[in-house]
Structure 1
Amino acid sequence: MTRLRRLATLALCTLLTATAGTACADHGDGGGDPSAPVRLLVFGAPEELAAYRTLADAYTRAHPDRTVQLVEAGDRKDLLARLSTSIAGGEPPELFLMNYRFYGQFAVKDAIEPLDDRITASDKIDPADYYPVAMNAFRWRGRQLCLPQNVSSLAVYYNRTLFEKYGVALPQPGWTWNDLLTTATAMTRDAAGGVIRGTESEGAAQRPAVHGVGIEPSIIRLAPFVWSNGGEIVDDPARPTRLTLDGPAAREALKNLVDLRLAYGVVPTDEEVESEDDESRFANGRLAMLLSSRRSTTTFRSITGFEWDVAPLPVYRQPAGILHSDAYCMTRGGRNKQAAWNFLEYAISADGQRIIAATGRTVPSHMAVANSPAFLGPAQPPRSAKVFLDAIPTVRALPTVSTWPEIEDVTSGILENALYRGDRLDDVIRQLDEQTRPLFARAEHPR
């Protein structure tokens, strides 16, 4: 609601109160005490949660009469469950932080407060200051439902010290999938430092002490390589009805991904991943490369035993990346909407984004902050932070249909079996199609 409209509404309410004794409800700011505590539902690794606490503390220092209470979920599924339960029970948190891939299920239930009027009235937020790809990911049927704090992309984290030890060339911009494979093979080493080639590790007396690369077998890891190879993940990004991994470009990218384990043995086995996840394995010096988003940076900044950096994704035919973006969303049922808006406005402003960027957690969605020393400064790793910014023109968003979280869950299990168990590619593609079509069929769309 613009200032002019708010003044007109106030004048009308004053007139109604004077002539009819009728009080007007507050539908502009959502009511509530602006100084009331704001509950913010988040999840993440301990280092990520510490970053959000830093932001909340800075807000309280700037506004001593205001407080933000972090409601910390254990993981993504816990966050979704808590949010669903609290909304159904009529006691949701005022704000929650969520990836664009998962908010559609709440948007379709009208559980998220649209922010357009507040944005228009704000003297702190100008939509033109933010990367459009992130802003657009949180538009639902013509309304801006959430405001993005970050615009990350997938990158290749690598152990620079380990590369230099073995004399292997560092990943460079423009490198190809074959370059990745060659590099990962050269970096897969036994305890004595010798190269383990192909699937020799299966029969070796000792499994690799260092694996060449770690990659999660999921649709969000596969997608950018399908796009880079000229293929598509779905038949229609705006209103998808099916996966299209049966196309030749998508099929090739999928085969190459599973061959990392099945043909070349450069990624850990499922048993190894269960005993030590890829992020921990990288931090412990037992994984040469890891494909991950910016969120891993907060964890890796605690590494003291070696130097690490980031490189862009390898390329098939053209550069392509996948959007990783989280946003602050306001619940319709929250008690203190004005207090929530006050914090949200601060959190995504230039001042707020500089604070959270300094923790390493985000690639700021605010363009000026992203291109400032707050993000690019060399004081803390990665030294090649600009890799994340260079990727932004190439990033694409996955569909935000209401059933996308279910689609990701179903596809993850099938892709895990493909990578670790060696299921036939034709069977994998058929299962992916058959098990997701019903989910697409009942999906609600953002446009």
Structure 2
Amino acid sequence: MKRTAALLSLLFLVTAAGCAGDAEPAADTVSLLVAGTPDELAAYRSLAAEYQKASPGATVNLIEASSAKDLMTRVSTSVAGNAAPDLFLINYRNYGQFAVKGALAPLTARLAASGSLHERDFYPQAMGAFRWGGEQMCLPQNISSLAVYYNRSLFQKYEVAEPVAGWHWNDLVATAQALTRDAGGRTVKAGDPETAGVPAAVHGLGVAPELIRLAPLIWSNGGDIVDDPAKPTRLTLDTPEARQVIQDFLDLTKVGVVPSDVEVEAQDYEARFAAGKLAMFVSSRRVTTAFRAITGFEWDVAPLPQYRSPANILHSDAYCMTKASSRQDAAWRFLEYALSDPGAALMARTGRTVPSRISVATSPAFLSPGTPPARSQIFLDTIPALRPVPTISTWPEIEDATGKVLENAFFHGDPLDKVIADLDAATRPVFARGTAAR
């Protein structure tokens, strides 16, 4: 009797271990790796839940990364360990490092055979950013751009004119100066003896010192950031057009309209805007979800300022399927739902995305009458002027290298010639190691 009980106990343990550790997920189970803020992750949970409702028997295992950097680390590690998720969502500036390694499953043939998704459904600027070696490697979820988020209540309080389409960089700076105020509401101006040493309670502008913030301004001024957008080998920031933009950008700290590095370290730009401490903040659509929680003031968006002509930078994320996935058919079914009218509309209503699906971008689901921002149409009006940065496998490293140089120069006043030389020296070897998409 004891021997029988022991054998039954052993059989139970083996069976349980097999079920818990070795069982293959069901055929309709899909793993999806995403990154974002708590608000963004909540939106993806909603998308997964709605897909499961619409597809009885299907399951989405959502894997949540804390940041884009964390996501890239997880994808790299999982690909190397043969444990990659079926799908992951990534910005076009970052996917090249996985495309060049052959870690992605091309979607060209699946898209051509699909009865519900067609290339014409999506904005071509977003689709083009995810082509590698002639293949459609990933399908874009969104097509954002930079915009100027502004505190409309502050503009009205201090009787400052709200931004309009076609405004110049100099208009942005003048507006930021008019809205940089001390705790008593007085204008704080650099070099003004009356306010010397008086800290600003509200700064007129918040903008991160990054290459992707400078790029659209350089394009607007008639310059470019690289020697060849298709096969870049170096930065081209020593042209008169680029030099003017970089100098104007660095001068923002001299005129006193932006927070110091110490202030930003204590409270980042996004949090400062939400707290009413920034009159304007340059960012993409992704902050909208968080800003919709603001109750203390009214806010809206304005177009990015320009120099000679309108220009903006593409911000687009796409779903990529891993080549190692054993459930590619199930992953494709999820993609067909996520990028359909219902799926795209769900994400659009959260505020997170400017949908890459044209039918949803031009619908109330995105334009959201009665829900901030009131001027969401600005994101659509910007699309014809969108440009991508080069698709090169080492682009994330280039952004990291330039970010360090620009941040130091922005907050500590490095001279322009040194900044440009440092940017070139930091990136030439990285360009040399990169592989371009075409």
* TM-score tier after normalising by the smaller chain length: over 0.9
What SS does the corresponding residue of 1:174 show, helix, strand or coil?
coil
1:37 aligns with 2:36: no
Q: Which residue of 2 aligns with 1:166?
A: 158
- Residue segments in structure 2 that go unaligned for 5+ positions in a row: 1-23
Moved over 6 A (4+): none
Name 1:329's counterpart in structure 2: 320
Query: Is 1:427–2:412 an aligned residue pair?
Result: no
Matches within 5 A, 1:55-94: 55-94=47-86
TM-score where L is the length of structure 2: 0.93
Q: Is the 8 A contact 2:188 2:198 kept in 1?
A: no
Q: What is aligned with 2:129?
A: 137
Aligned residues: 415
Of all paired residues, the percent bearing the same amino acid is: 60
**1:51/1:199 Cα in 2 relative to 1: closer, same or farther (>3 Å)?**
farther
Does 1:192 pair with 2:184?
yes
Q: Equivalents in 1 of 2:216, 2:342: separation in Å?
A: 32
Does residue 364 of structure 1 match 2:332? no
C-alpha deviation, 1:201, in angstroms: 10
Write the letter of the residue equivalent to 1:438: P
Match of 1:227 in 2: 219
- Which structure 2 residues correspond to residues 123-272 of structure 1 after superposition, within 5 A? 123-198=115-190, 204-261=196-253, 263-272=254-263
**Local SS of the residue matching 1:158:** strand
Map of 1:383 onto structure 2: 374
Q: Please report how far the alpha carbon of residue 185 of structure 1 lies from its aligned counterpart in structure 2 after TM superposition.
A: 0.2
1:176-202 CA distance string (max 9 Å, x none): 011001000000000000000125599
Output the amino acid matched with 1:422. Answer: G
Q: Output the aligned Cα RMSD.
A: 1.4
What residue identity is the alignment partner of 2:105? E
Quote the offset at 1:344 in angstroms.
1.1
Q: For residues 111 and 377 of structure 1, what CA distance do their matches in structure 2 show?
A: 38
Alpha-carbon contact 2:177-2:257 (below 8 Å) kept: yes
What do the CA deviations read for 1:393-446 (whole angstroms, capped 9, x no partner)?
Answer: 000000110000000000000000111011111001001011101111111110
Task: Judge conservation of contact 1:34–1:338 (CA < 8 Å) in 2.
Answer: no
Q: Which among 404, 411, 417 is matched to residue 395 of structure 2? A: 404
Tell me if structure 2 keeps the 8 A contact 1:201–1:208. Answer: no
C-alpha distance after superposition, 1:67-112 (max 9, x if no partner): 1111111111111111100000000000000000000000000000
Output the CA distance in 2 between the equivalents of 1:398 and 1:200: 40
Distance 1:96 1:202 in 2: 54
Cα deviation, residue 316, structure 1:
0.3
- On the 8 A contact 1:148/1:326 being kept in 2, the answer is yes
Equivalent pair of 1:139/1:446 in contact (CA under 8 Å): yes
- What is the distance in 2 between the residues matched to 1:385 and 1:97? 23
Q: Name whichever of 135-144 and 368-377 sits farther off.
A: 368-377
Normalising by structure 1, what TM-score?
0.91
* Structure 1: gaps (5+ residues): 1-31
| Residue number in structure 1 paired with 2:408 | 417
Choose which of 331, 347, 352 in structure 2 pairs with 1:340: 331
Evaluate the alpha carbon distance shift between residue 201 and residue 36 of structure 1 in structure 2; reply closer, same or farther with a 3 A threshold.
Answer: farther
2:314 match: secondary structure: strand
TM-superposed deviation, 1:315: 1.1
Q: Which moved more, 1:375-384 or 1:193-202?
A: 193-202
1:188 alignment partner AA: T
